[in-house]
């Protein structure tokens, strides 16, 4: 990635020690990063884990700024944090995912920002709720802040997926539709949760024309005090960035096609997941049928499924030929799966 159009934010999940902060910043200083990040106050889902070193880390960050000419940013979660980082000369702050989910917290941060100008980034809330995200941005905006961007860091899910936080790409896409004026930054680290997923997520973000990336970077990732599985070294970051393909967005038509195709790919992935979940349910029904010694093919039920879905599909402007064919195929596959179960000895 070698152009000035994307904002790049890198640095450790948490500031741990002065040495770790400075060593990481030293590794990053020659790469084209715009901001050095480090969490000073860490919101932990459960108590008893490392909660950040707190105010003690403020001078370490100032040292990064002075020694390496890097701009510095951190997460704020209450008015006191805002006051401290403003006093310490931070260049940018962000509202974390857990805070965005709580309007009281966002309002407290917004009140503390009244009368000052500092760029603010708002991470998506932990839950997949577009309105909460939009609302948090509005609260910061109504406090008078005019440089606001948002960070897509994925959404919590109880399902087990390959991601730490499900990307739900449709939500940031919808966000941008509502607020095309707000730059969108992707945080592949918290989406992926593991380093081997970062490249692909970052590339997808660029293909969707995001405006920047925030990637957790640590001088010694394996021994990081928080988020050890997802952090990469400065050199690894450099390699990841040089492997990214920045598409040429200059031709409006090509640009639009690129974005639409990326959206189609996401929809196809979702379709596959939905089909997989549907077949898993069929499988469970197969075991019930086996226990009760009932037939796999149940004509009344099948007619009902077909009729209901064809009507719903027509309401959704899908042709009846297409939806009939599609549901026949799905039904055949369910029958195949259940027949296999019934054929099993035990
Ligand atoms: C972080 O950036 O380290 C962090 C805690 O992020 P999030 O609020 O997205 O969980
Ligand atoms: Mn983190």
Domain count along the chain: 2
225 and 267 in a single domain? The answer is no
Question: Given this model, what pLDDT does residue 2 score?
Answer: 47
Asked if residue 97 has its Cβ within 6 Å of ligand 1, the reply is: yes
CATH of the domain at 291: 1.20.59.10
Question: Given this model, what pLDDT does residue 249 score?
Answer: 63
Handedness of CA 20, 10, 233, 230 (dihedral sign): positive
CATH of the domain at 39: 3.20.20.70
Question: For residue 1, is it within any domain?
Answer: no
Atom of ligand 1 nearest to the CA of 98: 8
Question: For residue 23, is it within any domain?
Answer: yes
Distance 97 CA to ligand 1 centre (A): 6
Handedness of CA 203, 205, 210, 211 (dihedral sign): negative
56 and 102 in a single domain? The answer is yes
Q: Among 242, 263, 291, which residue terminates a domain? A: 242
225 and 334 in a single domain? The answer is no
135 and 237 in a single domain? The answer is yes
- The total number of residues shown for the chain amounts to 346
Question: For residue 247, is it within any domain?
Answer: no
195 and 52 in a single domain? The answer is yes
Question: For residue 130, is it within any domain?
Answer: yes
Atom of ligand 1 nearest to the CA of 43: 5
Question: Given this model, what pLDDT does residue 77 score?
Answer: 98
Question: Given this model, what pLDDT does residue 296 score?
Answer: 87
Output the residue whose Cα is nearest ligand 1's atom 6. 96
Distance 225 CA to ligand 2 centre (A): 10
Range of the domain at 219: 7-242
Which parts of the chain sit beneath pLDDT 50? 2
From residue 323, alpha-carbon distances to 116, 281, 298, 299, 334 in Å are 56, 21, 20, 18, 16
Asked if residue 164 has its Cβ within 6 Å of ligand 1, the reply is: no
203 and 115 in a single domain? The answer is yes
235 and 165 in a single domain? The answer is yes
Asked if residue 237 has its Cβ within 6 Å of ligand 1, the reply is: no
34 and 118 in a single domain? The answer is yes
What's the pTM value of the predicted model, to 2 decimals?
0.78
């Amino acid at each position: 990635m070698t152009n000035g159009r994307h904002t790049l934010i890198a640095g450790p999940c948490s500031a741990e020690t002065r040495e770790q902060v400075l060593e990481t910043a030293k590794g990053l200083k020659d790469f084209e990063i715009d901001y050095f990040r480090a969490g000073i106050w860490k919101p932990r889902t459960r108590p008893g884990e490392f909660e950040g070193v707190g105010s003690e880390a403020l001078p370490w960050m100032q040292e990064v700024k002075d020694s390496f000419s890097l701009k510095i940013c951190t997460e704020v979660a209450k008015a006191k944090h805002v006051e401290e980082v403003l006093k310490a000369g931070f260049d940018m702050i962000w509202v974390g995912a857990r805070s965005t989910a709580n309007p009281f917290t966002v309002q407290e941060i917004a009140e503390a920002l009244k009368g000052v100008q500092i760029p603010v980034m708002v991470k998506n809330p932990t839950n997949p709720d577009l309105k909460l995200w939009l609302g948090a941005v509005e609260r910061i905006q109504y406090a008078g802040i005019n440089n606001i961007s948002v960070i897509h860091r994925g959404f919590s899910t109880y399902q087990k997926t390959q991601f730490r936080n499900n990307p739900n790409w449709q939500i940031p896409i919808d966000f941008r539709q509502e607020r095309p004026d707000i730059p969108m930054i992707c945080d592949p680290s918290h989406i992926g949760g593991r380093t081997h997923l970062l490249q692909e997520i970052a590339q997808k973000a660029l293909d969707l024309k995001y405006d920047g990336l925030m990637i957790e970077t640590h001088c010694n990732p394996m021994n990081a005090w928080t988020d050890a599985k997802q952090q990469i070294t400065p050199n690894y970051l450099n390699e990841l960035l040089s492997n990214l393909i920045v598409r040429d967005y200059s031709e409006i038509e090509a640009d639009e096609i690129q974005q639409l195709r990326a959206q189609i790919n996401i929809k196809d992935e979702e379709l596959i997941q939905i089909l997989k979940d549907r077949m898993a349910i069929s499988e469970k029904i197969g075991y019930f049928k086996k226990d009760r010694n009932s037939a796999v093919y149940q004509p009344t039920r099948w007619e009902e499924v077909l009729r209901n879905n064809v009507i719903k599909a027509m309401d959704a402007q899908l042709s009846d030929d297409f939806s009939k064919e599609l549901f026949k195929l799905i039904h055949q596959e369910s029958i195949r799966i259940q027949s296999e179960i019934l054929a099993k000895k035990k």
